[in-house]
Amino acid sequence: MAISSSIQAQQTLSDPRWQQVVARDAQADGSFFYSVKTTGVYCRPSCGARQARPENVAFHATIAAAEAAGFRPCKRCKPNQAALADIYAEKVAVACRLIDAAETSPTLTQLAEHAGLSRFHFHRMFKAVTGLTPKAYVAAHKVQRLRQQLDANMKVTDAIYEAGYGSSSRFYEASSQALGMQPTQYVQGGKQVQIHFALAQCSLGAVLVARSAKGVCAISMGDDAGLLLNALQDRFPAAVLIGGDADFEAMIASVLAFIESPKLGLNLPLDIQGTVFQRRVWQALREIPSGETVTYSMLAERIGMPKAVRAVASACAANTLAVAIPCHRVIRQDGSLSGYRWGVVRKQALLAKEAAD
C-alpha cells in the first residue's frame, strides 16, 4: 500500500537525517544516503544539488540498499565513489610518505606534481588535512630525524647532514627553536640550559609549570609536588632549574586560573617538542573547543590518518603540556573516559569544569 505524500513528507521531516541533508553536512557522508523519487538518483548528505521536496525523499543505510531500491548514483556528488575529503587525505598521506622517505626534501612543485594538483591547490589541501604547511611539515620532519640521530649518539655535524639540512649554517639558524636548545646541549641532557619552574596547589592537586627560553615546556599535575619536580629533573638532567622567579609566578597563576575556570582561555608561548606525527596530533587537539570532546578515531580522521587510532592515542599519552594541549578532551568510542597521563579523575574533573562553564 502506497504511503500518501503528506505522510511521507512528515516521516522525512521527523527523521534527524533530514536536517543533515538540509545542512549539506559533509560529516554525515558515508553514514547514510538519500534518494529522490522524482529524479531517480541517490546522493550523499552533502550533495549540492537543489533541495528535494521531503515527500520525495527516502533514506538508505548503504549504497547497495539504494541501488536495490532502483536508484542510480547522482552524477554531481558521485556517492558510489570515494569522498573528495578521502581522496585529498590519501593524496596528503602519499605526500607525507614521500617526504619521510626522501633523502633530499622534495619541493612544493614536486609534491604538487606528484599529487596531480596545482601548487596553490596542493598547498591549501595539505594544510587543511595536516594543520601544517608543506614547508612546516618538512621542517618538522628534519627535526624528528635530527633528534633520532642525536639520541643515537651521532656526532652533531653528521646528524645535521643525515637529517637533510643542506648546510650547517642553515641548520644553526633554526636549531635553537627546533630543539629548544643548542644541539650539543640537547645531547648533554640540557647542560647549561636554564629552566624556570614554579609549583602550586589547585583543586586538582599539585601543579608544576616550567619554561625554557622558547616558552612553556612542561605543565604537569599530580598528588606530590616533589615527584613532579623529580620528573622535570629527569627530563632535563643537566639543566639549571630555577624556582621562585617572581615574574614566572604570574604565568603559573594564569594556568591555575584556567584550570579552575576554562572560559578564561589560556594563551601562553609554548616550547613544543615532538615528532612530526605528534605535532600534528597536538595541533588538532588545540583546535578542539572547550566543552567539546572527540574520540580517538575522530581525531585520527581529523589529521587525515583514520587508521592510525593507536598512534594517535600514543601521541596523546606523550603530551607533556597538560591543559595547554588539551588531550583530556579525547574519549573512547563508547563515550567513557580512557587513560590520562595525570589521572582519569583529573580528566573527569577538567571535562566537568568545561561543561559547567
Closest to 147 (Cα-Cα) out of 175, 170, 167, 166: 175
Q: Which residues contact 76 (CB under 8 A, 6 or more apart)?
A: 43, 47, 48, 49
Active site (catalytic) residues? 43, 327
